[in-house]
């Protein structure tokens, strides 16, 4: 769910969100189920939360900025009452917007009924669709592409026999990343884009209730049994008649699950496509130890998302795994803070070194990624101030060189340190004694989806620029954002055209199962 403006600004903020839905055979306290599920998905969105309860077509909602525990105190949660359907959402905030107005789920009234929609992802053609809708009289209440999706579905619903037919027709028009959970007066529907960028799974309770969630950890939180992942392009419909699946959009595009789910976003206890996140991260660490060993006294993982990789590195390297960094658990993730000042403040508050552990020691520090370099620089400073003799940074993902347009807060090359600096220059900037990253092949093999698709079914565009879709609204802005320094990192770039050969940007659709375009795509790029 990403904010959209009539004019795409120089800096776009893309959020990672979490969605949940439940359908019960009989009236129940569905709001409480949604509450506990959203609590377990809090890591996917800490800025706002919302729940909509459907009681036989009567929609009651509670949506506000803040953490789940802040938005839903007991008395407020109780006010939602009972029902048979609930839809929930958590999100990250952005800069320059009315955050409260953009809280989800989105509620829409229309001629044929009402709809509540929760969305995780980002459309790449949202601006075009928004302008089309506005030209036909649509009045938008938010700045999000989630509302664009809702209006497209409603528009299609007016000419279709069912809400699921409307969702299917809408999927022919919207492009990019989306995992959706929505409620009509009588149905709960889940849908994923044909690439499957964002995770979405399905489970059930003992009473026959059907649930959908961004991650399987949400199912565990409410005692639901995991059933399966929703397939890319699939639409699942639940009502009193049972569960039905529409696979007409499946197989239209190769699987492209966002690799950052395994690197950073998803909880370690979640399983995605049968792969446990903790185990995948542990294999990343082990592979990193093989690719980039270091003469050190101990291994330290940056809490919390890097602890699994540190465990794998430690075991493979035969080095003790120590707790040399302590995280303040009450500080939100710095990576997705909306401004640089807030990110830096968050880093200062977030971590502290254990002097008695690190003093005089040669340390291999394992972290999941380097985005802007802020956190890494501070970590090195903390450890050296605490007396560490050497600090060697090992990153369990490749260098981030390209922005994301599918729902993550990596929006421009200017904010990616690896887009402007070599590994040695990054090492010098953060002050580490050595620095090494996991290879793209090592990352893909460590995760081990093994899908019949490029890169094993993972989207790795952040590392090599191989975007799996047309960028639509973002193409011009992306190309214009490339500075002369940025273009140095794009081998083969000549100011007119590029061709993907493993490290370069292209808009061209690649044949299924192949990595590279056959011909270069020509662009009109302003002279600089």
Residue position matching structure tokens 């789920």: 105
- Tell me if residue 266 falls in helix, strand or coil: coil
Angle formed at CA 124 by CA 333 and CA 341, multiple of 5 degrees: 30
Q: DSSP letter at 184? A: -
Token pair listed for 429: 């900037």
Mutual orientation of helices 277-291 and 307-317 as an angle, nearest 10°? 40
Look at the alpha carbons of 145, 151, 154, 156 in this order and tell me if their dihedral is positive or negative. Answer: negative
Q: Measure the CA–CA gap between 78 and 298, rounded to whole angstroms.
A: 50
pLDDT digit string (tens) for 69-91? Answer: 999 999 999 999 999 999 999 99
Considering the chain, what percentage of its residues have pLDDT values greater than 70?
83
| SS3 annotation, 502-528 | CCCCCCCCCCCCCCCCCCCEECCCCCC
Residue 495 has pLDDT above 80, yes or no: no
Q: For position 486, what pLDDT does the model report? A: 53
- Tell me if residue 139 falls in helix, strand or coil: coil
| SS3 annotation, 228-260 | EECCCCCEEEEECCEEEEECCCCCCCCCCEECH
- Tell me if residue 76 falls in helix, strand or coil: helix
Q: For position 332, what pLDDT does the model report? A: 52
Q: For position 176, what pLDDT does the model report? A: 93
The residues, ordered by sequence, that sit 6+ positions from 285 with a Cβ below 8 Å of its Cβ are 308, 309, 310, 311, 312, 313, 314, 316, 366, 396
Q: Measure the CA–CA gap between 173 and 328, rounded to whole angstroms.
A: 44
- In which band, very low, low, confident or very high, does the pLDDT at 331 lie, cut at 50, 70 and 90? low
Name the active-site residue from 17, 201, 231, 459. Answer: 17
pLDDT digit string (tens) for 427-466? Answer: 999 999 999 999 999 999 999 999 999 899 999 998 988 8
Q: For position 504, what pLDDT does the model report? A: 33
Q: For position 519, what pLDDT does the model report? A: 37
Domain ranges (residues) in the chain: 18-253, 278-444, 448-522
The residues, ordered by sequence, that sit 6+ positions from 376 with a Cβ below 8 Å of its Cβ are 367, 370, 393, 430, 432
Residue 11 has pLDDT above 80, yes or no: no
Average pLDDT of the residues in 322-336? 72
Q: DSSP letter at 3? A: B
CATH number of 278-444: 3.40.50.2020
Strand duo 275-276 + 113-123: pairing = unpaired
- In which band, very low, low, confident or very high, does the pLDDT at 325 lie, cut at 50, 70 and 90? very high
Q: Measure the CA–CA gap between 17 and 68, rounded to whole angstroms.
A: 13
Q: Measure the CA–CA gap between 177 and 413, rounded to whole angstroms.
A: 20
Average pLDDT of the residues in 172-178? 95
Phi, psi of 60 (to 5 degrees): -120, 135
Residue 143 has pLDDT above 90, yes or no: no
Considering the chain, what percentage of its residues have pLDDT values greater than 90?
66
Token pair listed for 136: 């036909």
Residue 521 has pLDDT above 60, yes or no: no
Q: Where are the beta strands (DSSP E) in 150-192?
A: 176-183, 188-192
Q: Measure the CA–CA gap between 254 and 509, rounded to whole angstroms.
A: 11
17 is catalytic: yes
CATH class for the region spanning 18-253: alpha beta
**Cβ contact 88:21 at 8 Å:** yes
Give Dmax over CA atoms of the chain in angstroms.
72
Residue 270 CB-density burial (10 A; 0-12 exposed, 13-18 middle, 19+ buried):
buried
Residue position matching structure tokens 């019949």: 452
- In which band, very low, low, confident or very high, does the pLDDT at 341 lie, cut at 50, 70 and 90? low
pLDDT digit string (tens) for 148-170? Answer: 999 999 999 999 999 999 999 99
> Using omega within 30 degrees of 0 as the cis cutoff, is the peptide bond preceding 481 cis?
no
The residues, ordered by sequence, that sit 6+ positions from 407 with a Cβ below 8 Å of its Cβ are 1, 2, 14, 15, 16, 17, 120, 121, 122, 177, 197, 198, 258
């Amino acid at each position: 769910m990403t904010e959209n403006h009539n004019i795409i600004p120089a800096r776009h903020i893309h959020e990672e969100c979490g969605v949940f839905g439940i359908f019960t055979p009989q009236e129940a306290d569905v709001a409480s189920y949604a509450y506990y599920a959203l609590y377990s998905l809090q890591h996917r969105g800490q800025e706002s939360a919302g729940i909509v309860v459907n009681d036989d077509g009567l929609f009651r909602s509670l949506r506000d900025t803040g953490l789940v525990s802040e938005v839903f105190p007991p008395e407020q949660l109780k006010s939602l009452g009972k029902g048979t359907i609930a839809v929930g959402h958590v999100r990250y905030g952005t800069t320059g917007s009315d955050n409260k107005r953009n809280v989800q789920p989105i509620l829409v009234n229309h001629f044929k009924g009402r709809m509540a929609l929760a969305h995780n992802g980002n459309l790449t053609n949202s601006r075009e669709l928004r302008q089309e809708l506005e030209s036909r009289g649509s009045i938008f209440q938010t700045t999000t592409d989630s509302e664009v999706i809702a209006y497209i579905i409603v528009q299609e619903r007016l000419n279709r026999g069912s809400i699921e037919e409307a969702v299917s027709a809408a999927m022919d028009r919207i492009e990019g990343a989306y995992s959706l959970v929505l409620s009509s007066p009588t149905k709960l529907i889940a849908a994923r884009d044909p690439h499957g960028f964002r995770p979405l799974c399905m489970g059930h309770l003992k009473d026959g209730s059907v649930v959908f969630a961004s991650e399987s950890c949400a199912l565990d939180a409410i005692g639901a049994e995991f059933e399966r992942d929703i397939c890319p392009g699939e639409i699942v419909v639940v009502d009193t008649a049972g569960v039905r699946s529409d696979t007409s959009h499946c197989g239209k595009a190769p699987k492209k699950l966002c690799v950052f789910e395994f690197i950073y976003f998803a909880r370690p206890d979640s399983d995605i496509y049968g792969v446990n996140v903790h185990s995948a991260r542990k294999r990343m660490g082990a592979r990193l130890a093989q690719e980039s060993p270091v003469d050190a006294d101990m291994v330290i993982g940056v809490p919390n998302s890097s602890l699994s990789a540190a465990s794998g590195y430690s075991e493979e390297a035969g080095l003790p795994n120590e707790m040399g960094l302590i995280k303040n658990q009450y500080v939100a993730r710095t990576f997705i803070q909306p401004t640089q000042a807030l990110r830096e403040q968050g880093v200062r508050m977030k971590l502290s070194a254990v002097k008695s552990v690190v003093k005089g020691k040669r340390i291999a520090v394992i972290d999941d990624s380097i985005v802007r370099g802020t956190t890494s620089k501070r970590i090195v400073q903390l450890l050296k101030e605490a007396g560490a003799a050497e600090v060697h940074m090992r990153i369990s993902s490749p260098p981030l060189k390209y922005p994301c347009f599918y729902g993550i807060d990596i929006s421009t090359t200017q904010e990616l340190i690896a887009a402007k600096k070599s590994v040695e220059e990054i090492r010098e900037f953060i002050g580490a004694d050595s620095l090494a990253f996991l290879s793209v092949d090592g990352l893909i093999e460590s995760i081990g989806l093994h899908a019949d698709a490029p890169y094993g079914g993972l989207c790795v565009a952040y590392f090599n620029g191989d975007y799996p879709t047309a960028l639509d609204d973002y193409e011009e802005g992306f190309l214009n954002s490339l500075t002369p320094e940025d273009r140095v990192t794009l081998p083969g770039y000549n100011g007119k055209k590029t061709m993907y050969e493993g490290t370069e940007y292209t808009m061209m659709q690649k044949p299924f199962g192949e990595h590279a375009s056959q011909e270069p795509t020509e662009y009109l790029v302003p002279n600089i």
